[in-house]
Amino acid sequence: MAKNLAKDAGKDAIKTLGWWQAHRFLLLRRLCQLTIVALFMAGPTLGVLKGNLSSSNLFDVIPMSDPLITLQTLSAGHLPEMTALMGVAIVVIFYALISPRAFCGWVCPMNMVTDLAAFLRRKLNIKTSYRWSSQLRYWLIPVLLIGSAVSGSVLWAWIDPVAALHRGLVFGFGASWVLVGLVFVLDLLLVEHGWCGHLCPLGATYGVIGRKSLLRVAAVRREDCTKCMDCYYVCPEPDVLRQPLKEGDKRVLDQNCISCGRCIDVCAEKVFEFQNRITVKQID
């Protein structure tokens, strides 16, 4: 099969597998993301999920805390309450076990904004202007920790577009829409996958946390790959697909994978599947 155009990514899968099969993980992720936002909005009424993405409580029993915010709080010289520390432990254990950056692909509301920008960029054939190193996000983590230590405050809380979007969705938008708009413009016009793939320190934090997690995308039928490039076009971190499609390990072991399943959706040949990393290792 010849290389497809970016704007046509997924069309072969729709023809071969059907519309639902070619969009199932995308739709399930949107359902998950919007359900979480709705639960936060209904927090005072239903009492299921209270708080925000930085600090929340499930059923008034299970605390959950943002690991990056907590690290900055400690760097600033403040000791979080025991409940917050327990919340960090719960979040870290959960995401360390489940899959790489599952928070980014299945929870973070900013993913909907960046996915929209990527979709429009493909459909309109927009060529981005700049190329940045994907390591920038990892350098931002120590920068934020040092900045928090020097300022004595949680530095990222002032400029975090993810938290700004979440507050806007739950409580109504004010000036926070500016941050969200900047991320959208960055991804659409300036740098391909600029926010999630290059800048977001929270995503980098979850990448480190989930680098040994169990659930992995794997090219279980890579011999059927036709090099149509559809998976590369839709993947927010396309470099993670290079090794599994070559000789050797079939698993996507790169911690930058966001476990979104879009490569599975758009592949008409069913090259990719979600697999337990231990099981896939046995069939390599």
- For residue range 206-226, what is the model confidence (pLDDT) as tens digits? 999 999 999 999 999 999 999
Instruction: Please calculate the CA angle 199-261-227 and round it to the nearest 5 degrees.
Output: 95
CA distance 192 to 236: 9
Under DSSP, is residue 145 helix (H, G, I), strand (E, B) or coil?
helix
Q: Residue 281's pLDDT band (boundaries 50, 70, 90)?
A: low
- For residue range 75-118, what is the model confidence (pLDDT) as tens digits? 999 999 999 999 999 999 999 999 999 999 999 999 999 999 99
User: pLDDT value at position 1?
Assistant: 59
CA distance 216 to 263: 12
CA distance 243 to 252: 7
Q: How far is CA 84 from CA 43, 54, 155, in A?
A: 19, 10, 18
CA distance 104 to 127: 25
User: pLDDT value at position 140?
Assistant: 95
Q: Residue 164's pLDDT band (boundaries 50, 70, 90)?
A: confident
Contact predicate 105/32, CB 8 Å: no
| Residues with Cβ within 8 Å of residue 97, at least 6 apart in sequence | 213, 214
Contact predicate 215/277, CB 8 Å: yes
User: pLDDT value at position 100?
Assistant: 94
pTM score? 0.93
Instruction: Tell me phi and psi for residue 207, to 5 degrees.
Output: -65, -45
Q: Which two tokens stand for residue 187?
A: 């991804």
Q: Which residue has the higher pLDDT, 159 or 93?
A: 93
User: pLDDT value at position 170?
Assistant: 82
CA distance 226 to 183: 34
Owner of token pair 């046995």: 282
User: pLDDT value at position 248?
Assistant: 84
Residue 173 has pLDDT above 70, yes or no: yes
Q: Residue 280's pLDDT band (boundaries 50, 70, 90)?
A: low
Q: Which two tokens stand for residue 55?
A: 């600090």
Over the Cα atoms of the chain, what is R_g?
A: 19
**What percentage of the chain exceeds 90 in pLDDT?**
82
For helices 161-171 and 110-123, the axis angle rounded to 10 degrees is: 100
User: pLDDT value at position 44?
Assistant: 80
